[in-house]
Chain A
Amino acid sequence: MLVQVNKLNVFVATGGKDFDSSLPTILFLHGSGGDHRTWAMQTRWFAFNGFSVLAPDLPGHSLSDGNAFETIEESAEWLEKFLKYIGVDKVHLVGHSQGFLTALVYAEKNSKAVSSITAIGTAAEIPVNEHLIKTAEVNRDKAAEMMCNWGFGPYAHKGISSVPGMQPIGISRAIMKNNPLAVDLRACAAFKRGNDISKKLSMDRHCILASHDKMTPMKAGLLLAKNMSIVPTVIENAGHMLPIEAPKKTLNALRQFIETIER
């Protein structure tokens, strides 16, 4: 569906079902250069099984108008307006990579409006290689190529796809090269409050990590889990692009966590 926030069109995937605010709502936030298709294999399951889902393309990304946010704090402020517009009082927040940083800042300020928070393939803070940022500034396609090379794990590189005939690396690269990667990466690099915030979260929380994550390495993910005082779920043989390359395992880990809360 299309909604207007700050007078700009925002595309929001709702998993193939009309949004229904009476159902428990899960908000999915994509990572750098991504869009709602990151969550294609999770949102539809929840939408068809008793939940309402919201997976927006953040401003400046894919089907949404506007410009990408320069800082994580700006993204979180926008998220407040977005959820106010939608009319949702409480959400389960799910964030991949940069999307989790936005969820983190939103949760800090709006803890009562957050049922739970799930970090996927991420860390409390995401330092970004300066060479990657500079490449993204001058050649998005090249930067997308670098991101996909580092971002996908060994199974995905071999072309093992959960959707018959599809090539996940090709799909991610096609999405990333048309989105504002450099702005997203700079926003990640500049964000330094993640460790502090993640230690203070009081809502239910979960962390799903990939054993072969080179973008936000396991070490950083484990530190985040420690900050959050939880035991993470680790998915083997997967890389940073967890929701795309290991969609079923990511979904199962999410289901187990969120369904337990809602039961």
Chain B
Amino acid sequence: MANSSYYKPETIALHTGYKPESDHGSRAVPIYQTTSYAFDGVQMASSLFNVEQGGHIYSRISNPTVAVLEQRMAALEGGTGAICTASGMSALFSTFITLCSAGDHIVSSEQIYGSTATTLRYTLKRFGIECDFIPINDMDALRSSIRPNTKLVFCESISNPGMEVSNLPEISKLANSFGLPVVVDATFATPSLSRPIEHGANIVVHSITKWIGGHGNSIGGCIIDGGNFNWGCLNKKKKNKFPELTDPYAPFHGISFWEEFGPTAFVMKVRSEAMRDIGAALSPNNAFLILQGLETLDLRMRKHVENTKALLEWLKSQDGVLWVRHPEMRDDEHIKKMFPNGAGSMICFGVAGGKKGGAAFINSLSLSTHLANVGDSRTLVLHPGSTTHSRLTKKDMKSAGISEDLIRVSVGIENIEDIKTDFKTGLKSALRAIK
């Protein structure tokens, strides 16, 4: 079973958080396209504002359609609660600013998505939050990078585009021993393939734009609270290490989120503060579209993984392919433990001819789409060095696992023979370009 539901994942994705509504019996989750919700009298209104009871006030904070998606995500990941946001990046930003204030410090994996790296390296720095980047599976590096003001450890379960799998059991054990939560971006894994909370992570973040939505039609993010971190822990000066969650919060009658909500303290603080102040709410229409994707996530992920394994084997034997990278090509125990049903559907490979060969490969494809996204049902290709990671320096690109010849493939669920035929054309073009 999951930690927070007794239904199996396929069933959770279809049923959790919704029963056919009473007025019309709508079987599909309705789209509550509304800004706000009528109060049934003054007392009800004040009780909602005082957090005396649950309910919806304004769709920037919560919305019934979005709430169904949130509950399904919480149940699928085995968490205590979830919040959906306008994008994966706003989910990350909301997480960071909920836990960190000026003067605080983050330890991050060096192999992460380019925009996340930019947020951590530049944007948060402007607000007095510093970040050190380390090879995340190097426990000595992790231990030595932790400072008294460190507030969290961040990594991606499968890194983008380096394809490194973070050793979550080891990272979490070490981080938690220092009183630090582990925040994981699990976008590349999805809860169908790996559930980070089971491996020790404390907060899981997704870009649900990707495999969760799965159809390339809506941007969205999600934050899941594992409910498994003691926010009441003290620092070496015997003061609360996370005053953001333990100290009285003036805007809510001096509430202490930790005392009041315990295993949902973090996610309730995100709802109360980040959603209120930043307002990066997921639209109900996007939530509906993403829910349609979520309902078939398990089926799609099986096909994604099947196609990925087949393409991987095929690529290894092709002329014009210099190297191939996928987590399952490594013989690491933690990868087998964390991904028993396949380590995702992202492949990186080096094409002959470097940048020129890569351009020829991409330009000659007719089935696969060249764009800056992953996790669509369709096969997508990209040259990260000139797009998503172009803002990084050469040194940072190298530590992020990117080279000029790298082609990133998000393997879709088309017939595998059609994907191979398309890639065969691309590889021929790459080889022609360097003759």
Contacts and interface: CB of A to CB of B under 8 A. Distances in A.
Interface of A: 11, 13, 16-17, 35, 37, 40-41, 44-45, 48-49, 62-63, 145, 148-149, 155, 157-167, 169-171, 173-175, 247-248, 251
A26 to B, nearest CB: 14
B264 A63 contact: no
Contact of A167 (B43, B81, B261): B81
B56 interface: yes
B6 A149 contact: yes
Contacts of B3: 170, 173-174
A236 to B, nearest CB: 13
B16 A158 contact: yes
Contacts of B253: 16-17
Interface of B: 1, 3-7, 12, 15-19, 43, 46-47, 50-56, 62-64, 66-67, 70-72, 74-75, 78-84, 227-228, 232, 252-255, 259-264, 267, 271
B279 to A, nearest CB: 16
Contacts of B74: 165-167, 170
A48 B67 contact: no
27 contacts: A35-B262, A37-B260, A37-B261, A37-B262, A41-B53, A44-B51, A45-B53, A157-B6, A158-B18, A159-B75, A160-B17, A161-B17, A161-B67, A165-B71, A165-B74, A165-B83, A166-B74, A167-B4, A167-B5, A167-B75, A167-B82, A169-B4, A170-B78, A170-B227, A170-B263, A171-B4, A247-B53
Contacts of B78: 170
Nearest to A36: B259
A241 to B, nearest CB: 13
B7 A157 contact: yes
Contacts of A35: 262
Contact of B264 (A62, A158, A162, A171): A171
Contacts of B227: 170-171, 174
A38 B313 CA distance: 53
Given A174-B80, A174-B263, A161 B1 contact: no
For B15, B46, B52, B84, the residue with the greatest tally of chain A CB atoms inside 10 Å of its CB is: B52
Nearest to A46: B52
Nearest to B16: A159
Contacts of A155: 19
A62 B81 contact: no
Nearest to B252: A16
Given A159-B5, A170-B3, A165 B262 contact: no
Given A40-B261, A164-B70, A171 B81 contact: yes
A48 B46 CA distance: 9
Contacts of A171: 4, 80-81, 227, 262-264
B205 to A, nearest CB: 14
Contacts of B16: 158-159
A148 B80 CA distance: 13
B228 A164 contact: no
Contacts of B254: 16
A172 B3 CA distance: 10
A164 B63 CA distance: 8
Nearest to A145: B1
Contacts of A247: 53-54
B213 to A, nearest CB: 18
Contacts of A161: 17, 54, 67, 71
Nearest to A35: B262
A44 B74 CA distance: 25
A162 B55 contact: yes
A173 to B, nearest CB: 6
B416 to A, nearest CB: 36
A153 B401 CA distance: 49
A169 B54 contact: no
A159 B50 contact: no
B53 A159 contact: no
A41 B81 CA distance: 16
Contacts of A40: 260-261
A161 B264 CA distance: 13
